[in-house]
Amino acid sequence: MKVLNLPGPKAEALIKRDKAVISPSYPRAYPFVMDHGKGSEVWDVDGNRFLDFAAGIAVAATGHSHPAVVKAIQEQAEKFLHISSDFYHEVWINVAEKLAAIAPFKEEALCFMTNSGTESVEGAIKLARYHSGRDNFIGFLGGFHGRTIGAVTFTASKYKYHQGFGPLMNGVTHVPFPDPYRPLLQSLPGEDYGETVVRYIEEQILDKIYSPDSVAGILVEPIQGEGGYVVPPPGFFPALRKLCDQHGILLIVDEVQAGMGRTGKWWSIENFGVEPDIVTSAKGIASGIPFGAVIARKSIMTWPKGTHGNTYGGNPISCVAAAATIDQIEKHYLANTIETGAYTLQKLKEIQSRHPCMGDVRGMGFMIGVDFVEDRDSKKPADELRNRVERLAFERGLLLLGCGKSVIRISPPLCTTKEQIDEGLNIFEEAVSLAENE
Ligand SMILES: Cc1ncc(COP(=O)(O)O)c(C=O)c1O
């Protein structure tokens, strides 16, 4: 397999200029300097081609520069770029109608438009407090919800997201996420591990920390993203929904990474058979144009005029990009995600059977995690090995991104074909073989 000499001279020169003027806080994975992209392929500034199995952290849902998305943006740009959320316009209403139509609950939906995932989460937190008149929340260890002060308080995937930024928001307690591969709690005989976690919330948190009638909401990713592409057991969400109903607690699902078709359903919560109260979206929703939404039941989005707003919410460029993205996902890519995602999972399981360092392969649709371990008995995370796989794949023309402690995420654009999966997984397996022996 051809090994690329990276970074090339143009990439190296740009990285030098970048270092001089850009904040050092960005978590750059490796020296990929983008020139252009098409579908699931990207090229760097030195002319090297890569398959993109990261999609800009699960954002390029329709692939890079999808012609329908680009056309919608170009046409809208000729008309107007901005008018502010003080006024009305049609493309904003169009996208809200589309989102309301696919909202994962039967009740009518209302939408609040944002510019990012973290802003969607902030909006959901404020809405839950405003509507319920309650102060407190429950979040999950390993969760990632963004980096503004409210959202980052819920984020609990790495301590560095908190260290140095305190004091954080009051009224948030974290509990274990139901990770069936590395469970933290002890189940009762015959108990689903998801039910164990809900029992822990009920018996410990709602007894010892918060009175149930002081809890505004439980904020949860239906499938944890940044925390390691962790899929909860089937009993979790039905038990959590029941607990929320019992105590009037709002179930807020963060679909920023797992939503918008990535798991083969519009929203990942639909894989678990329960209806949430509030949904947060961003990332894949507009194929890369900054855009997000808080989608809530009409009976919950009760905040009156002037209580919450923003300058760019409903920006026309973002709205047409989102509308075109939703159309393309509906017409072509939901079906492809189900079929090619299942193919990818099966191929990865075959590769796993040849490599003991691949402890767990899990996921749904195009949201698949490979958890690297020192050995399958101890399940000790092999983070160094994971990092080597990421680098070796990059040098062979495949973009991958890690998550969790020792996981590689396979999150390609939803348009990725079986041929591209085969090509990418050949590189992946070679990278794993080399990393094992390095
Ligand atoms: C589940 C989830 N929520 C929120 C966010 C924050 O989104 P943003 O980076 O657009 O603020 C992310 C980003 O990775 C995410 O994965």
- pLDDT number for residue 438: 83
Any domain includes 72: no
Residue whose CB lies within 8 A of the most ligand 1 atoms, among 114, 145, 253, 287, for a mutation test: 145
Task: Indicate whether 97 and 22 sit together in one domain.
Answer: no
Any domain includes 326: no
Any domain includes 276: yes
Q: Which two tokens stand for residue 272?
A: 């678990």
Task: Indicate whether 352 and 284 sit together in one domain.
Answer: no
- pLDDT number for residue 379: 97
CATH code of the domain covering residue 223: 3.40.640.10
Whether 139 lines ligand 1, by a CB cut-off of 6 Å, is no
Cα 263 to ligand 1 centre (Å): 16
CATH code of the domain covering residue 402: 3.90.1150.10
Using alpha carbons, select from 59, 66, 70 the residue that is nearest to residue 317: 70
Low-confidence ranges of the chain (pLDDT < 50): none
Residue 292 · residue 281 · CB < 8 Å: yes
Task: Indicate whether 345 and 406 sit together in one domain.
Answer: yes
Residue whose CB lies within 8 A of the most ligand 1 atoms, among 122, 223, 257, for a mutation test: 257
Using alpha carbons, select from 386, 395, 424, 428 the residue that is nearest to residue 11: 395
Task: Indicate whether 53 and 125 sit together in one domain.
Answer: no
Q: DSSP readout, 368-402?
A: EEEEEBS-TTT--B-HHHHHHHHHHHHHTTEE-EE
Task: Indicate whether 33 and 155 sit together in one domain.
Answer: no
Residue 235 lies in domain: 84-314
pLDDT tens column, 173-215: 999 999 999 999 999 999 999 999 999 999 999 999 999 999 9
Task: Give the end of a domain, one of 249, 282, 314.
Answer: 314
- pLDDT number for residue 83: 95
Q: What global pTM score does this model have?
A: 0.98
Q: What's the total number of domains in the chain?
A: 2
Task: Indicate whether 310 and 430 sit together in one domain.
Answer: no
- pLDDT number for residue 305: 96
List the residue whose alpha carbon is closest to atom 8 of ligand 1. 117
Any domain includes 319: no
Task: Indicate whether 22 and 129 sit together in one domain.
Answer: no
Whether 403 lines ligand 1, by a CB cut-off of 6 Å, is no
Task: Indicate whether 340 and 216 sit together in one domain.
Answer: no
- pLDDT number for residue 34: 98
- pLDDT number for residue 68: 98
Q: DSSP readout, 178-189?
A: --SSS--SPPPT
Task: Indicate whether 53 and 122 sit together in one domain.
Answer: no
Residue whose CB lies within 8 A of the most ligand 1 atoms, among 26, 114, 118, 157, for a mutation test: 118
Q: Which two tokens stand for residue 80?
A: 């107007």
Whether 219 lines ligand 1, by a CB cut-off of 6 Å, is no
Whether 220 lines ligand 1, by a CB cut-off of 6 Å, is no
Any domain includes 383: yes
Q: Which two tokens stand for residue 42?
A: 């990207």
Residue 187 · residue 256 · CB < 8 Å: no
Any domain includes 428: yes
Any domain includes 107: yes
- pLDDT number for residue 1: 82
Task: Indicate whether 355 and 265 sit together in one domain.
Answer: no
Any domain includes 224: yes
